[in-house]
Amino acid sequence: MSMHKYSLLLLLLVSAAGARGDDGDREARAWLERMSQAISTRNYDGRFFHLRGSSSETMRIIHRVDRGRVTERLVSLDGSGREVIRTQNEVICYLPDRRTVLVDRRKETGTLISTVPRYSEDLEVHYKIERGPSTKMLGRRTQIISVQPRDQFRYGYRLWLDHETAMPLKSQLCDSHGNVIEQILFAEVNFKERIPAAALESAVSGEGYTWIRQDVQSPRLSRSVEWSVMRLPAGFRLTAWRLQIVAGSNTPVQHLVYSDGLATVSVFIEPRNPDTEAMNGLSKVGAAFAFSRRLDGHQVTAVGEVPPATVEAIAAGVTKDGATAVHSPDVAPVP
């Protein structure tokens, strides 16, 4: 699936319980910091279930750190045989059922495990972090940590962190009513001193497959980046952008990514095809919501694993004439 500068917003965290409650929050923050450190710096090999609604997928993840360089391999153990391999510079996705390989450059350093929030030093502006009770999973003692949104524009998380390693043995993405939208549940995880490089090689040769490579556009070279979003929900900012070609079309699609550090929304802007019926309004795509609208001869779609109000607000705020925002120096190409 990077760290921000630490900002202690104590006034937002102090409860009626006084100093004792603040100590608990400080402890919860320490747990999240330990978790982020564990999933990014340790060698491990594990199997987990990825659950979305009524669907379930069994996955294997191998995470290797060698002299500071991270390589990660995610393998579907079910029928599709899908594999994703992340290196320092790119992500390669093998899709045997489609005989296709997708290759993308990547700047992001987070884990490929979804539904695990990365710790951000600015997290507490928009989320409340609390420590829950201790319990057991896989025969190991775990600490429950909750990350709750402060408004209606984002979802919350519940985490079961291993007491010894702080690895997330279970993670849930939850709506405002506490209903589970998506979760991972480890069946086993093994920590290793060394993992051989061969363990990170794909079992799929890719021979005879269609290889699709997406090249990142430089903001200095691109002259067609002219879209932005005004009146974003609090905390969301433009974090990445790209021009990409989708299958069956020679016209580039503008892809903007907005994030608050945890929640992420992608905005796709493409010229309207008069021969194709345009989508309009809210729809559901797996565990994500999408909102589409027509604008100035283009189709605009915002999609993300966020509440419907968020994709609707972001799609409604899309405007043409945002070159300055897209060319901002802290904006990276889409990984």
- pLDDT tens per residue across span 44-83: 999 999 998 888 999 999 999 998 889 999 999 987 889 9
List residues bridging with 294 in a β-sheet.
299
The verdict on 192 and 51 lying in the same domain is yes
The answer, yes or no, to whether residue 242 has pLDDT greater than 90, is: no
Q: Which of 108, 106, 329 is nearest to 220 (CA)?
A: 329
Q: Which of 81, 86, 75, 84 is nearest to 96 (CA)?
A: 81
Last residue of a domain, one of 214, 235, 251: 214
The answer, yes or no, to whether residue 11 has pLDDT greater than 70, is: no
- The residue with greater pLDDT, 287 or 131, is 131
Question: For residue 115, what pLDDT is reported?
Answer: 61
The answer, yes or no, to whether residue 28 has pLDDT greater than 80, is: yes
The verdict on 163 and 180 lying in the same domain is yes
The answer, yes or no, to whether residue 9 has pLDDT greater than 70, is: no
The verdict on 64 and 197 lying in the same domain is yes
The answer, yes or no, to whether residue 5 has pLDDT greater than 60, is: no
Mean pLDDT (the chain) is 80
Cα–Cα distance between 7 and 259 in angstroms, integer? 18
The verdict on 46 and 74 lying in the same domain is yes
CATH of the domain at 151: 2.50.20.10
CATH of the domain at 234: 3.30.200.100
The verdict on 65 and 149 lying in the same domain is yes
The verdict on 195 and 60 lying in the same domain is yes
Residue 107, CA distances (Å) to 2, 6, 29, 57, 310 in order: 9, 21, 26, 27, 25
Beta-sheet pairing, 264-271 with 298-304: antiparallel
The verdict on 144 and 265 lying in the same domain is no
Residue 21 phi/psi, 5° resolution?
A: -65, -40
Q: Which of 298, 300, 276, 277 is nearest to 290 (CA)?
A: 300
The answer, yes or no, to whether residue 308 has pLDDT greater than 80, is: yes
Q: Which of 153, 158, 149 is nearest to 12 (CA)?
A: 149
Cα angle vertex 48, ends 44, 50, to 5°? 135
Question: For residue 215, what pLDDT is reported?
Answer: 56
Question: For residue 225, what pLDDT is reported?
Answer: 52
Beta-sheet pairing, 90-95 with 227-229: unpaired
Q: Which of 127, 172, 169 is nearest to 305 (CA)?
A: 172
Number of domains composing the chain: 2
* CA quadruple 242, 301, 117, 103: dihedral sign: negative
Last residue of a domain, one of 187, 214, 241: 214
List residues bridging with 257 in a β-sheet.
240, 266
Question: For residue 121, what pLDDT is reported?
Answer: 72
Cα–Cα distance between 133 and 111 in angstroms, integer? 26
- The residue with greater pLDDT, 48 or 322, is 48
Question: For residue 13, what pLDDT is reported?
Answer: 24
Work out the pLDDT band at 162, boundaries 50, 70, 90. very high
The verdict on 191 and 290 lying in the same domain is no
The verdict on 57 and 201 lying in the same domain is yes
The verdict on 166 and 232 lying in the same domain is no
Last residue of a domain, one of 186, 214, 242: 214
Cα–Cα distance between 260 and 262 in angstroms, integer? 6
> What SS3 class is residue 18?
coil
Question: For residue 122, what pLDDT is reported?
Answer: 76
The verdict on 203 and 224 lying in the same domain is no
The domain in which residue 158 lies consists of: 1-214
Question: Which pLDDT tens digit goes with each residue over 91-127?
Answer: 899 999 889 998 887 655 556 665 676 666 778 889 9
Cα–Cα distance between 14 and 8 in angstroms, integer? 11
Question: For residue 262, what pLDDT is reported?
Answer: 87
- The residue with greater pLDDT, 228 or 8, is 228
List residues bridging with 76 in a β-sheet.
59
Question: Which pLDDT tens digit goes with each residue over 166-204?
Answer: 999 999 999 988 899 999 999 999 999 999 999 999 999
Beta-sheet pairing, 264-271 with 253-259: antiparallel
The verdict on 139 and 229 lying in the same domain is no
